[in-house]
Structure 1
Amino acid sequence: MPRFYCAICRYPLNACLCASVQPISPMTQLVVLQHPSEVEHKKNSVRVLSLVVAETQVYVGESEADFNGLREHLTACNKPIYLVYPSEQSVSVEQQPINPDCVLLLLDGTWRKAFKMLQLNPWLTQYPAVHLAEGYESRYRIRKSSRSDSLSTLEACAYMLSALDPRLDVQPLMTAFDAMVELRIKAMPSTVQARYQNSNKPNCETK
């Protein structure tokens, strides 16, 4: 039986997110390097991110050659560029003054895949790395991670944008994200739904 999709949000009609999407236009340019395995994933938070922040740029790939177009774009960019990735060299975005009129590069994939993408793209290390301070909790109940500090790519973007520009209302991102999560849970068998609805342990991976 064929499935019908919304022409705007591209989700199935019975899971349309349009009613929960309120676009925002942050000063910060969001650029997502997305692992190919995430593109068609039903729980892909970048799809929701792109609905709320239409200017989001998504480049799909894994190897250095896959991102040649992005590298050319960044070379011509006249804004500060930061890589969002926690490491020994990264600095907390809350503890240093960063002009929100900048570019944030985010790796979209599981921790393992994101690490592999970083290893395959050493050119990313030319950009200063930033991370979020501790204390953020994920609302991504439908994807699990072995790391307690995991956030979905959308959540990481929302918290980053809020830290860079406290005047920006990022609630539309979280509203659309929560709607997507609830719709995914409702699509599950009733026995599985109960497990997620009764769980108070938010788990996620960056994706």
Structure 2
Amino acid sequence: MPRPICSQCQFLIQQCLCDHLSVVKSDIELVIMQHPSEVGHAKNSVRLLPHLLDKVRIVVGETEQDFAQLKAELEAESRPIYLLYPSEQSVEASQVKHSQQGILIVLDGTWRKALKLLKFNPWLLSFQSLHFSPQAPSRYRIRKASRIDSLSSLEAAAFGLQALQPQMDIKPILSAFDAMIEQQLVHMPEHVQARY
């Protein structure tokens, strides 16, 4: 029998986050390209973002065909478009100066899956790549990462948006994320909690 889900936040009733959600306004539209393996993942941080940002879109897929509509829409855009992905060609996000609203693309998946998304969608390389240096370790205590600079997709999106918009207050986003982690920890068996 399926466990009851909150109709508003879409989390389990016993892990409801409605009291921790408030929408943050952003001049930048966030587009999440989500690898299919992340969709049903219990620790998926991206599912919080539609409850926390006024301009966010999540598109699930892997191949260029999966993202054909998104690609066509982005290619028709007049706003500046940025890809948050560290590379030799990427620039520090805080150094970007723009005078109009833009779009920030974030790839959601493990480092390996994000790289796969990029390889299957080389059209993304036509956009300016951005990176930023995390000021603190990830708050994502319930998911193991292979790299010390790894952040959850939610954290990467929040810090990327803030780097482009220094006036943006991302505390409500991070507070909701912390609440999600605490809720999951509370409902884990003790032997599982011990790993984190």
- Which TM-score bucket, shorter chain as reference? over 0.9
- What 5-or-longer segments of structure 2 have no aligned partner? none
* 2:105 maps to 1:105: yes
Q: Distance in 1 between matches of 2:134 and 2:48?
A: 24
Identity %: 49
**1:99 offset after TM fit, Å?**
4.5
Cα-to-partner distance string for 1:94-127 (whole Å, 9 max, x where unaligned)? 2332447210011000000110110111111101
Q: Does residue 80 of the first structure (1) align with residue 80 of the second (2)? A: yes
- RMSD across aligned positions (CA): 1.4
Q: Does 1:37 align with 2:37?
A: yes
Which residue of structure 2 lines up, in the alignment, with residue 156 of structure 1?
Answer: 156
- Determine the C-alpha separation between the residues in 1 that align with 2:150 and 2:82: 19
* CA–CA separation in structure 2 for the residues paired with 1:26 and 1:6: 26
- Which residue in 2 is equivalent to 1:202? none
The reply on whether 1:140 has 2:135 as its aligned counterpart is no
How many angstroms does 1:87 deviate by?
A: 0.4
Over residues 18-71 of structure 1, what are the superposed CA-to-partner deviations in whole Å (9 max), with x where a residue is unaligned? Answer: 000011121110000000000011111110112101431111000010000101
Question: CA separation in 1, counterparts of 2:37 and 2:100?
Answer: 30
- 5 Å matches for 1:150-189? 150-189=150-189
Aligned length: 196
Cα deviation, 1:110-157, whole Å, max 9, x if unaligned, reads 000110110111111101100012534210001111111111111011
Maintained 8 Å contact 1:34/1:60: yes
Q: CA deviation at 1:16?
A: 0.6
Query: Is the 1:30–1:55 contact (alpha carbons within 8 Å) kept by the matching residues of 2?
Result: yes
The answer for unaligned runs of 5 or more in structure 1 is 197-207
Shift of 1:79: 0.5
Using the size of structure 1 for normalisation, the TM-score is: 0.90
TM-score (normalised: structure 2): 0.95
Residue 73 (structure 1) shift:
1.3
